[in-house]
Structure 1
Amino acid sequence: MRRRSLMIAVPAGLVTLAGCGDDKSDSSKTSDSASPSAPQPSAAPSPKIVAGPLPAVTAGTKFGEKPTIAKGSGAPSKDIAVKTLITGSGRTVAENDFVQADFVGQIWDTGKVFANSYESKTPLIAQLAQGQIWEGWRFALPGKKVGSRVELSVPPNWGYGPQGNPQAGVKGTDTLVFVVDLKDVFNGKSSAQGKKVPQDDAALPKVGTNTDGGAPSVDVPKTNAPKKLVANYILEGDGEELKADSTALVQYKGVLWDTGKEFDSTYGRKSPTLISLQQVVKGWAQGLTGKKIGSRVLIVVPPALGYGDNPPQGSGIKKDSTMVFTVDILAKM
Structure 2
Amino acid sequence: MRSSLALIATAGLVAVALTGCATAPEPAVAPGASSEAIEVTGDFGEPPRVEFPTPITPDETQCTVVIEGDGEPVRDGDTVRVAASLYDAESGEELQTIGFEDDAVLLTLNEGKTLAGFRTGLTCANEGSRVVVAVPPADAANPQTGQEPATGAVAVFDVMDVFPSRANGTPRLTRDGFPAVVLAPDGRPGITVPSSDPPAQTEVEVLREGSGAVVEDGDEVLVQYTGVDWQTGEVLSNGSTWATGGPTSFVVGDGSSQIPGLSKAVEGQRVGSQVGVIVAPEDGFGAGGSGEAAGDATLFYVIDILGVL
With normalisation by structure 2, the TM-score equals: 0.62
DSSP 3-state at the match of 1:151: strand
Paired position in structure 2 for 1:115: 98
1:82 aligns with 2:62: yes
Q: Tell me: CA distance 1:55–1:232, structure 2 relative to 1, closer, same or farther (3 Å).
A: same
Structure 1: distance between partners of 2:2 and 2:257: 12
Residue of structure 1 equivalent to 2:26: none
Question: Displacement, 1:311?
Answer: 3.1
Secondary structure (helix, strand or coil) at the match of 1:128 reads: coil
Measured after TM superposition, the shift of residue 283 of structure 1 is: 2.0
Pick from 152, 167, 174 the counterpart of residue 133 of structure 2: 152
Letter in 1 for 2:17: S
Distance 1:211 1:135 in 2: 24
- In 2, the alpha carbon distance for the partners of 1:146 and 1:25 equals 19
Query: 1:137: Cα distance to partner?
Result: 1.1
1:263 aligns with 2:235: yes
Aligned mates of 2:274, 2:74 — CA distance in 1: 24
Structure 1 position 239 matched with structure 2 position 239: no
Aligned partners of 2:79 and 2:109 also within 8 Å: yes
In 2, the alpha carbon distance for the partners of 1:263 and 1:81 equals: 38
Q: Which amino acid aligns with 2:155?
A: V
Question: Which residue, 293, 297, 300 being the options, matches 2:278?
Answer: 300
Tell me the equivalent position of 2:24: none
Q: AA paired with 1:69?
A: P
Pairing 1:133–2:114 present: yes
CA RMSD of aligned residues (A): 4.8
Aligned residue pairs: how many? Answer: 268
Counterpart residue identity of residue 105, structure 1: S
User: In structure 2, what is the Cα distance between the partners aligned to 1:216 and 1:299?
Assistant: 14
1:52 counterpart = 2:34: yes
Unaligned runs of 5+ in 1: 5-23, 27-34, 40-48, 161-172
Q: Output the CA distance in 2 between the equivalents of 1:25 and 1:177.
A: 13
**TM-aligned CA distance change 1:270 to 1:205, over 3 Å:** same
Unaligned runs of 5+ in 2: 8-14, 20-30, 143-150
Change in Cα spacing, 1:105 to 1:291, as seen in structure 2 (3 Å) is farther
Deviations 1:41-80 (A, max 9, x none): xxxxxxxx964265433344xxxx5366323244352668
Partner of 1:254: 227
SS of equivalent to 1:283: helix
Contact 2:78–2:109 (Cα < 8 Å) also in 1: yes
Structure 2 CA distance for aligned equivalents of residues 279 and 102 of structure 1 = 24
Q: Which one has a larger percent strand, Structure 1 or Structure 2?
A: 2
For the Cα contact (< 8 Å) 1:104–1:115, is it kept in 2?
Answer: yes
Match of 1:318?
294
Aligned equivalents of 2:296, 2:197: Cα separation in 1: 16
